Amino acid sequence: MEWLFLVVSFVAVLAAGMMLTRQNAVHSALFLIVNFGCVAFLYLMLDAPFLAMVQVTVYTGAIMVLFLFVIMLLGAETTTDTSGRMRWLGFVGTALAILLLIIFAFPLASNMLNDETTHQPDAQARIRVINAIPGGDAQTFTVMDMGRAMTLQETVRGNVLLDPVSETSDDTRLDGVIYEYGREAARDYIEVAAGDYTVIVGVAGRDFESAPIYSQSRALEPDSAHSILLFENAAGLVDVALLEDDISAPAVGKMRLTLFNAVTDKQVSLVDVGQYSARSTLCDDSACGSLIPHRALIEQLPAGEHISLELEAGSYNLALVDEDQNVLRTLAAYEAERGMIETRVLVREPGVPGSQSSYRAAVFNTIGAPAFGSPEAVGQVLFIEYVLPVMLVGMLLLVALIGVIVLARPDALAQAERRRVNRRRRVNRPLVSVISQQTGSNVLSGDYRAKLTGGADDPAGD
């Protein structure tokens, strides 16, 4: 990476230098295009792909073409060099610029070698509730935090609500909005101040502190994200797990898949079976002496545990298998999109008792924030936080447009003026008709012409 940066920056500086020293303006413009291209490349290296494309289209595409147009339109490739008198100023200026550069670059360079820049911590933690209980009767549970007086009321079966339940006086509601979800839904992350919390889950309407389903103290670190996952255990009771989520952007070209095993009596493995076939087992023969070719992605995930992995973007045929190599669930033609963060919870479908259990990998997508520097991220900031400046810049462009038209107009006006003057100078009637009126004879008639050429009769004497 370092060598790439060095090469690109060297080319950029070289192109800038060539641009400054060329006498021919067209050459300068072409070198400037090279420089802009290098800067676009550096934008790509700085995780700003959108700006890189804008740089190429706007700068190297539009602005430089405008420059080249004007240069060639004017035919002003070279100008008379009048800087000869002050040539020593150039050398002094260059020396001063290098001096300034050294003064500024030294602290930066020493910084580069010494310390890592410490970022301002974002003292916010994120938490959400995932309801992974298969549908059924509505039953209200409440997730409640006692430490910070945060209350979340969740209807586990059916809709998910956010409503304060506790009537305590110092109850600070985080959010008054009521969210409605179907079953197997995840709430968006909400931001809470980082700190120590006690997460208590209980049935709404009951006394939390005496009979909670779940109660655990957890320090929510800044920038961390947690999920309160509600699921059904083997006994059919609601169980709760508090997971720490990794919401950082996945590596480039990958997605992150988090699998939670909510089937309490099985250990599951996630395997990539390659070619899809509707098999119910990974065994190749009845005695399970050999397995069909597969690639294990997650091995033997115990119940109530979760694990994350990063998958290369692409299409997969995945299968969730238990410890006896029985396929619990296939995920055929699973599309792994780059940058996606997905949480899957393997749950047992509520079925007819006694029949074969079926399983489902309930999906809870969380694309936390769009990837840094992507068009989505830039667009969101641009059109939400900076709407007014966008409007003002649009106005500025309009003013510039009108200004250019006005600037280009005087010449056109002068031409119109000249045309008007020309029209006024033109005589209304042909000159010959004026003469014939004044002389009283038709100058265009043949006899007049004959007289002019030495004819006998004088029409004026008649």
Partner 1 sequence: MNPIGAEPYIVLSMVLFLMGALGVLMRRNAILLFMSVELMLNSANLALVAFAREWGQVNGHVFVFFVMTVAAAEVAVGLALIVNIFRERQSINIDDLQQMQG
- Residue numbers 13-32 binding partner 1 by CB under 8 A: 13, 16-17, 19-20, 25, 28-29, 32
Biggest alpha carbon–alpha carbon distance for the chain: 142
59 binds partner 1 (CB under 8 A): yes
Are 36 and 58 in contact by the 8 Å Cβ rule? The answer is no
- As a whole number of angstroms, the distance between CA 386 and CA 90 comes to 42
118 binds partner 1 (CB under 8 A): no
Least Å from the CB of residue 70 to partner 1: 5
166 binds partner 1 (CB under 8 A): no
Task: At 333, list the tokens.
Answer: 């033609």
DSSP-assigned beta bridge partners for residue 195? 220
CA distances to 48, 338, 455 from 38, rounded to whole Å, are 14, 26, 88
- As a whole number of angstroms, the distance between CA 381 and CA 375 comes to 10
Binding residue (CB under 8 A) for partner 1 from 7, 105, 288, 460: 105
93 binds partner 1 (CB under 8 A): yes
Binding residue (CB under 8 A) for partner 1 from 7, 34, 88, 117: 117
355 binds partner 1 (CB under 8 A): no
DSSP state string for 181-212: --SSEEPPPEEEESEEEEEEEEETTS-TTTS-
For residues 156, 162, 166 and 168, what is the CA-based torsion angle, rounded to 10 degrees?
A: 160
123 binds partner 1 (CB under 8 A): no
Least Å from the CB of residue 244 to partner 1: 20
Least Å from the CB of residue 423 to partner 1: 24
171 binds partner 1 (CB under 8 A): no
DSSP-assigned beta bridge partners for residue 245? 225
List of residues 6+ apart from 130 with CB closer than 8 A: 185, 186, 187, 227, 228, 229, 230, 343, 345, 364
Please identify, using beta-carbon distances, which residue of 398 and 434 lies nearer to partner 1. Answer: 398
Least Å from the CB of residue 258 to partner 1: 21
Select from 12-20, 206-214, 239-247, 256-264 the region that touches partner 1 (CB under 8 A): 12-20
Sign of CA dihedral 432, 433, 434, 435: positive
Select from 51-59, 134-142, 210-218, 305-313 the region that touches partner 1 (CB under 8 A): 51-59
Query: Footprint of partner 1 on residues 271-310 (CB under 8 A)?
Result: none
Least Å from the CB of residue 35 to partner 1: 7
Size of the site for partner 1 (CB under 8 A): 85
Query: Footprint of partner 1 on residues 232-261 (CB under 8 A)?
Result: 251-252
318 binds partner 1 (CB under 8 A): no
Please identify, using beta-carbon distances, which residue of 71 and 292 lies nearer to partner 1. Answer: 71
- Residue 30, classed as helix, strand or coil, is helix
Select from 107-115, 321-329, 358-366, 425-433 the region that touches partner 1 (CB under 8 A): 107-115
DSSP state string for 367-425: --SPPTTSHHHHHHIIIIITHHHHHHHHHHHHHHHHHHHHHHHHHHHHHHHHHHHHHHH
Site string for partner 1, 371-410 (x = CB under 8 A): -xx---xx-xxx--xx--x---x--xx-xxx-xx--xx-x
Strand 341-348 relative to strand 254-261, pairing: parallel
42 binds partner 1 (CB under 8 A): yes
Sign of CA dihedral 156, 158, 162, 168: negative
Select from 111-119, 227-235, 258-266, 360-368 the region that touches partner 1 (CB under 8 A): 111-119
60 binds partner 1 (CB under 8 A): no
Query: Footprint of partner 1 on residues 408-447 (CB under 8 A)?
Result: 408, 410-411
C-alpha closest to that of 151 among 172, 121, 181: 172
Please identify, using beta-carbon distances, which residue of 86 and 434 lies nearer to partner 1. Answer: 86
455 binds partner 1 (CB under 8 A): no
